[in-house]
């Protein structure tokens, strides 16, 4: 399958758009609404494959979830109201679904098995299952419960203090959700603060947390209270692609409305500013406990930078498209401390480097990131997403400035998080 736009017919990008709802918040709204007492209405929900997998899993756990026009209505049963599924729970391609759901399942007094697609079968789960087992859950699976299928028999959990070697919102959230059902206090400590959608939403559902610079603590036995509305802002990880596109395609100006700018997620905005991008943040406001704004970006020549340290957990999903951006910046861009990229849908370090090299980029991989020299003209090539939605979108953006017509294999993976992505590019290119 080939992407239609290329350098010969994309002279600039212009327009005002919105992007799909935030994937992380959409997942959590369904999960927390399901384990809350009362009915939760979700507006702006991302109708992508990953989030639909979350809905299906909680339907199998006995929760009534319906779509009414463009809203998702979750009729919460309380965490004790979930029931044993008659079939295995299939998370599809969603790492968020499996890791957070394992935390919930670990406190439930029945048996269940969780599976996923070929990509999920390769992704490490021990970083979640090991602390959950230390809390008292019975968990088994391939490679000592590191790989799916994973079976869980929960109940009788005891709070722990867990020091995570990586800043991971999925690990933190899974342990906190188990901690809700545990005796005593559960604490998660991290080297850097990871995205905090779980903490914000748990508080919105009436749960008390102790949040410090180094960690989060939760007291077991608290109940979630539904009966409200969750307004899901636009996903900044999805907004990253049109932002980068406008930054590197000459004469472009694009505005993206209603984007979540949670500081634990908005590292890409900091990097764009560091590189000299013409970026304006306006109409800042709060929506369902999350900061939201409109973003306007214009084309401007960019300078290289270093992306590392505490920035990494705040933009881990944006690194593939930031690598594309760096190919057009003046100087040497260094991305490091990003070893977590090896454990995404693909090994994103090796995949991004290999595919960018096919397009003529001056890029080399390192143990924990990559080095990109620019600016470098890109040319068309036959590249592969390897079924990773963010890889597919990143190379569609690279194609906008490449000479010739690029073919992106398995580009259908983009539907996981951005179903109308290619239509959006066409609309901006007119």
Degrees, nearest 5: CA angle 47-48-54: 90
Degrees, nearest 5: CA angle 243-247-248: 125
Q: Is 317 a catalytic residue?
A: yes
What CA–CA distance (Å, rounded) separates 98 from 248?
36
Residue 168 CB neighbour total at 10 angstroms: 21
Nearest to 237 by CA among 215, 268, 209: 268
**Which string of DSSP letters, residue by residue, matches 102-145?**
HHHHTTSSSEEEEE--TTGGGS--HHHHHHHHHTT-EEEEHHHH
Rounded-to-10 torsion of CA 136, 139, 145, 150: -150
**DSSP conformation class of 411:** G
Phi-psi label, residue 312: left if phi above 0, alpha if psi -120 to 50, beta otherwise: alpha
What CA–CA distance (Å, rounded) separates 259 from 370?
28
What CA–CA distance (Å, rounded) separates 342 from 363?
17
Question: Which three-class secondary structure string do you get for 49-85?
Answer: HHHHHHHHHHHHCCCEEEEECCEEEEEEECHHHCCCC
Half-sphere exposure of 413 (CA within 13 A, CB side): 25
136 Cβ neighbours under 8 A, 6+ residues apart? 155, 156, 157, 158, 182
Calculate Rg over the CA atoms of the chain: 21
Half-sphere exposure of 388 (CA within 13 A, CB side): 26
Four-residue CA torsion sign, 52, 53, 58, 64? positive
Catalytic site residue from 235, 317, 384, 388: 317
82-to-34, 77, 209, 234, 399 alpha-carbon distances in Å: 8, 7, 23, 30, 47
Residues designated catalytic:
317
């Amino acid at each position: 399958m080939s992407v239609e736009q290329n350098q010969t017919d994309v002279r600039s990008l212009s327009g005002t758009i919105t992007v799909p709802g935030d994937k992380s918040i959409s997942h959590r709204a369904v999960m927390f609404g399901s384990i809350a007492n009362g009915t939760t209405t979700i507006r702006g929900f991302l109708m992508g494959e990953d989030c639909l997998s979350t809905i299906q899993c909680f339907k199998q756990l006995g929760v009534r979830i319906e779509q009414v026009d463009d809203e998702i209505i979750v009729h919460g049963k309380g965490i004790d109201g979930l029931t044993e599924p008659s079939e295995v729970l299939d998370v599809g391609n969603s790492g968020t679904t499996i890791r957070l759901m394992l935390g919930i399942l670990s406190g439930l007094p029945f048996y269940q098995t969780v599976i996923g697609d070929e990509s999920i079968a390769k992704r490490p789960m021990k970083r979640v299952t090991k602390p959950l087992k230390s809390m008292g859950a019975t968990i088994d699976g391939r490679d000592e419960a590191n790989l799916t299928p994973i079976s869980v028999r929960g109940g009788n959990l005891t709070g722990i203090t867990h020091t995570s070697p990586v800043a991971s919102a999925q690990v933190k959230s899974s342990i906190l959700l188990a901690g809700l059902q545990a005796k005593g206090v559960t604490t998660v400590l991290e080297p850097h603060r990871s995205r905090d959608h779980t903490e914000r939403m748990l508080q919105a559902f009436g749960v008390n947390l102790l949040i410090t610079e180094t960690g989060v603590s939760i007291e077991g036995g608290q109940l979630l209270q539904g009966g409200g509305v969750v307004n899901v802002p636009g996903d900044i990880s999805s907004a990253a692609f049109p932002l980068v596109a406008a930054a590197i395609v000459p004469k472009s100006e694009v505005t993206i409305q209603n984007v979540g700018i949670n500081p634990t997620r908005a590292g890409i905005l900091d990097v764009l500013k560091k590189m000299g991008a013409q970026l304006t943040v306006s109409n800042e406001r709060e929506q369902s406990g999350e900061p939201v704004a409109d973003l306007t970006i214009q084309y401007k020549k960019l300078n290289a930078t270093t992306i590392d340290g505490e920035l990494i957990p705040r933009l881990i999903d944006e690194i593939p498209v930031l690598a594309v951006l760096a190919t057009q910046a003046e100087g040497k861009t260094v991305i490091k401390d990003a070893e977590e990229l090896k454990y995404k849908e693909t090994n994103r370090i090796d995949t991004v480097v290999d595919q960018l090299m096919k397009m003529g980029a001056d890029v080399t991989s390192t143990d924990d990131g990559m080095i990109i020299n620019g600016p470098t003209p890109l040319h068309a090539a036959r590249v592969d997403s390897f079924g990773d939605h963010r890889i597919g979108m990143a190379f569609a953006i690279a194609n906008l400035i490449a000479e010739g017509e690029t073919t992106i294999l398995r580009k259908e993976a983009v539907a996981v998080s951005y179903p109308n992505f290619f239509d959006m590019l066409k609309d901006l290119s007119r």
